[in-house]
Amino acid sequence: MIISFTKMNGAGNDFVVLDNRDLAYNLSKEQIAFLCDRHRGIGADGLLAAEPTDGEADFRFRYYNADGGEAEMCGNGARCFGRFTASLLPEPADVVSFETIAGTLSAKLIGDDVEVAMSDPFDMQAELAIEVEGLSYPIHSVNTGVPHTVAFVPNLAELDVVKLGAAVRYHSHFAPAGTNANFAQVIETGHIAIRTYERGVEGETLACGTGMVACALYHHLLTEAPSPIKVDVAGGETLLIGFEKSGDDFVNVTLTGPAVVTFTGEIEI
């Protein structure tokens, strides 16, 4: 089977993107993992597929991690998906909506950037009563579409993100599904830097949109930094996380940053 694809990246978090509106592609977990393999396939942190929807949204958003497992959401993927699917609309538009497992989202094209309206975060738990060898700082958790932990550290550059991230990701507290693990450093109030170990990729990625949201929200809770919060990622870009507070809850959360087409092509599987 020949597959036509678009390779995209959002702040260095890269994806294979497929137009599957006709449902011609019914890929297995192994086939998706092959496409994401950086040595034998195209190479990506995950795969996005645009599918038809019976609801009011424009498209259905399907996201698969590099291991082939389907996940609820991906913030950087949602920005790439928004730019990709906007070109598929019957009439030109700068706003596109799509259904995800985490809820219906929308993306707005703003020049080279895309602003994604994220799902409302839930299940916030500060200072979890867990211990991770080598990490002596409080660990917080939240679901921003997918589960995340956040730990603020004094020096990101010295951190062994793969070792500590794997220890958090596979900690029994988060079994059986596991969690994504983020480590953040405060540059100044309202501006943080993060590094992320992603579940399903099983390693550090250059950026993670839902992880940025998790870190920004906890930065606000710990410092009262106002919206929007600037987040530097390992890929070199700075993105913006916007939000509003409604009592103890966060609402109207947005993620704004780049979404770039790298190349297009075909591959046989």
Q: Which has the closest alpha carbon to 155: 182, 200, 193, 123?
A: 193
Reported as a single tens digit per residue, the pLDDT across 232-264 is 999 999 999 999 999 999 999 999 999 999 999
Residue 148 has pLDDT above 90, yes or no: yes
Q: Which has the closest alpha carbon to 10: 238, 268, 242?
A: 238
Please give the C-alpha separations between residue 238 and each of 98, 193, 209, 210, 261, in angstroms, as whole numbers. Answer: 25, 9, 11, 14, 18
Angle made by CA atoms 182, 186, 187, in degrees to the nearest 5: 130
Q: How many residues are present in the chain?
A: 269
Q: Which has the closest alpha carbon to 79: 115, 105, 132, 48?
A: 115
How many angstroms separate the CA atoms of 168 and 175, rounded?
Answer: 10
Residues whose CB falls within 8 Å of the CB of residue 214, separated by 6 or more in sequence, listed in order: 121, 142, 144, 148, 149, 150, 182
pLDDT of residue 141: 98
pLDDT of residue 77: 97
Please report which confidence band the pLDDT of residue 157 belongs to, taking 50, 70 and 90 as the band edges.
Answer: very high
How many angstroms separate the CA atoms of 141 and 124, rounded?
Answer: 6
Reported as a single tens digit per residue, the pLDDT across 13-48 is 999 999 999 999 999 999 999 999 999 999 999 999
Six-digit token string for 177:
């599904």
For 164, phi and psi rounded to 5 degrees? -70, -35
The DSSP annotation for 92-142 comes to --SEEEEEETTEEEEEEEETTEEEEEPPPPEEEE-S-S--BTTB-S--EEE
Do residues 15 and 8 touch, judged by C-beta distance below 8 A?
yes
> Is omega for the bond preceding 176 within 30 degrees of 0, making it cis?
yes
Do residues 116 and 242 touch, judged by C-beta distance below 8 A?
no
Q: Where are the alpha helices (DSSP H) in the chain?
A: 29-36, 75-86, 161-169, 209-223
Reported as a single tens digit per residue, the pLDDT across 182-210 is 999 999 999 999 999 999 999 999 999 99
Please report which confidence band the pLDDT of residue 54 belongs to, taking 50, 70 and 90 as the band edges.
Answer: confident
- Residues marked active site are found at 74, 208
Residues whose CB falls within 8 Å of the CB of residue 203, separated by 6 or more in sequence, listed in order: 162, 197
Please report which confidence band the pLDDT of residue 178 belongs to, taking 50, 70 and 90 as the band edges.
Answer: very high
CA dihedral of residues 257, 261, 262, 263 (deg, nearest 10): 170
- How large is the C-alpha radius of gyration of the chain? 18
Residue 55 has pLDDT above 90, yes or no: no
Residues whose CB falls within 8 Å of the CB of residue 226, separated by 6 or more in sequence, listed in order: 190, 220
Sign of the alpha-carbon dihedral angle for 263, 111, 121, 231: positive
pTM above 0.85, yes or no: yes
Reported as a single tens digit per residue, the pLDDT across 81-129 is 999 999 999 999 999 999 999 999 999 999 999 999 999 999 999 999 9
Reported as a single tens digit per residue, the pLDDT across 59-88 is 999 999 999 999 999 999 999 999 999 999
Average pLDDT, the chain: 97
